Amino acid sequence: MTSFKPVRKAVFPVAGLGTRFLPATKSVPKEMLTIVDKPVIQHAVDEARAAGIEHFVFVTGRNKAVIEDHFDIQVELEQTLRERNKTDALELLAASLPPAGQTSFTRQQSPLGLGHAVWCARNIIGNEPFALLLPDMVMRDKKGCMSSMVELYNKTGGNIIATEEVAWEETHKYGVVETGKEVAGGFEISGMVEKPPQGTAPSNLFINGRYILQPEIFDILSGHETGAGGEIQITDAMLKLAKEQPFYGFRFTGRTFDCGSKEGFIKANVAFAMWQSDLAEDLRPELEELLKEKPPF
């Protein structure tokens, strides 16, 4: 069996402005907004760790320093918890922390687009395949989307894109793939279209924010070509790379919440709370009641 260079590093682009959450995101990065009790970014890092990722690369921007603090120990807090014998809380903190020396933070000095943010990680990634996780997309299933993708990659090599079914009427809002032959539980990607006009989508599988990419993507991104919205787009670079290298699709069948939008973020909070038995019991009747109520103003 052929063995491919392992996927050891993951990139988390977190330099976006998060304008859809203003004024909350004026001083708090949107990646630090919480889903129940865990920041959005922690969900993506946990998913990457479960997939065997060893090095976590954050592409940050101004006002994002708190993300770096979140992935460090908090000496005074831990001291106090120890004095108070709060072992559960201490264990929780330890479990959420990648091991020392396995995180890197680099700055995207201007938010020139997702493709540019990924390019900013080039020196830390070097010449090896890497995982790319958009933290806004919070996903939940038994195994973890990235774990399944790494499993597929270990059979196929190349580049992997996670996809997910969406209603056909919604395809014009997303990047959509064209499907080729089935391979190793995934499929060959024979084309990609960004926001296809209604009725023209080649499939109803949209690109949902998880990728495994080969380092040659950096050579393409170094051209700094702008696309939609005047931004440097990762999809444009992938389309170019697909002319030289194979791309495979993974079908994710769990639940995804787009926490970059208010609606998705609120849905994620409700869903994660309802999936937590200690909260669900009290919350369910209250939510049912709330839905019947008129606003008190």
Q: Mutual orientation of helices 145-156 and 40-50 as an angle, nearest 10°? A: 40
Distances from the Cα of 7 to the Cαs of 28, 67, 127, 200, 211, in angstroms? 31, 23, 11, 35, 11
Closer residue to ligand UTP in complex, CB, 17/50 = 17
CB-based contacts of 193-200 (< 8 A; 24+ apart in sequence): 194/227, 194/228, 194/233, 194/235, 194/236, 195/228, 196/171, 196/172, 197/172, 198/169, 198/171, 198/172
CB of 108 to ligand UTP, least distance (A): 5
Minimal distance, residue 110 CB to ligand UTP, in Å? 7
Q: What is the DSSP letter of 81?
A: H
Site residues (vs ligand UTP, CB under 6 A): 13-20, 59, 108, 111-114, 116-117, 134-136, 260
CB of 19 to ligand UTP, least distance (A): 3
Q: Least CB distance from residue 117 to ligand UTP, whole Å?
A: 3
Name, in order, each residue with C-beta under 8 angstroms of 83's C-beta and a sequence gap of 6 or more: none
Q: How far is the CB of 16 from ligand UTP (least distance, A)?
A: 2
What residues pair up with 248 in beta bridges, in sequence order? 160, 188
Interatomic CA distance for residues 192 and 284, integer angstroms: 41
Closest CB to ligand UTP among 119 and 153? Answer: 119
Least separation in angstroms between residue 73's CB and ligand UTP is 25
Q: Where are the beta strands (DSSP E) in 38-129?
A: 38-39, 55-60, 103-107
Measuring CA to CA, how many Å separate 116 from each of 29, 175, 258, 285?
19, 18, 21, 46
Name the residue nearer to ligand UTP (CB basis): 171 or 233.
Answer: 233
Q: Tell me how many degrees the CA angle 121-16-68 measures, rounded to the nearest 5.
A: 60
Q: Cβ of 81: how many Cβ atoms within 10 Å?
A: 18
Q: Which CB, 106 or 204, lies closer to ligand UTP?
A: 106
In the bound state, the residue with its beta carbon closest to ligand UTP is 16
Pick the closer one to ligand UTP by CB: 227 or 246.
227
81 or 176: CB nearest ligand UTP: 176
Q: Which is nearer to ligand UTP, 48 or 114 (CB)?
A: 114
Cβ atoms of 247 and 191 within 8 Å: the answer is no
Task: Tell the smallest beta-carbon distance from residue 27 to ligand UTP (Å).
Answer: 15
